[in-house]
Amino acid sequence: MNDSLQHILFDLDGTLTDPKEGITRCVEYALNKFGIAVEHPDLLIPYIGPPLYDSFIEIQGFTAEAAQQAVDYYRERYRTVGMFENSVIPGIPKLLKDLSDQGFSLYVATSKPTVFAEQILAHYGLEGYFKFTAGSNLDGTRSKKREVIQYVLDENSIPAAQALMIGDREHDIIGAKSCGVTSIGVLIGYGSEEELSAAGADHIASSVDKVGDIISRIDVNYANR
């Protein structure tokens, strides 16, 4: 079997786009519904990346029932306003075009519900670069990054040895490792170098340009094996 690098999976939030304003405002909206005041939206940055339901439990200390209600409140604002309080990270369109021109197949693997991810990609003109977009389901299933990555591999018959996962949080790296997929942790989003290193990232890129450089090196290494 040819184990050359052929398939590249991208996280969405903090990797392709910067969703800080939308996510933090929508979390604040949800917390306000519970009578919880937020001193500053930046205090809600830890909510960017992980599955939302898990964050309301782990960060806020909500019960399972309250966490689900918080997700519902969050989506009230997110589906109409929040998802578009967002911006494409500079350099990403060029990186996607370059990788596509080099013959790589590109995919999105996000913990965000698929329906929202598809709308965001379309809104910012990125959907044409991707062969397949996978996220969680609105009912909360398939929200773990490991499940999303495995779903992309299974649905597209991709051997793990031919794939690469790119993301900005530990969940992306841990999910990739559990699926046997090589990973690049990026510092263009919301995870620190310490977080990504501790999670076991195979490579760490400090900028969008560095992502392309690392992929070129990985590809050469595959070719020389």
Please provide residue 144's backbone torsions phi and psi, each rounded to the nearest 5 degrees. -75, 140
Distance CA 188, CA 205 (A): 8
Count CA within 13 A, CB hemisphere, residue 78.
23
Distance CA 188, CA 51 (A): 19
Selected catalytic residue, list 11, 13, 18, 172: 11
As a residue count, the chain comes to 225
Distance CA 122, CA 147 (A): 24
Distance CA 152, CA 1 (A): 20
Q: Which residues contact 196 (CB under 8 A, 6 or more apart)?
A: 168, 169, 170, 173, 185, 187, 204
User: Could you confirm whether 11 is annotated as catalytic?
Assistant: yes
Residues with a known catalytic role? 11
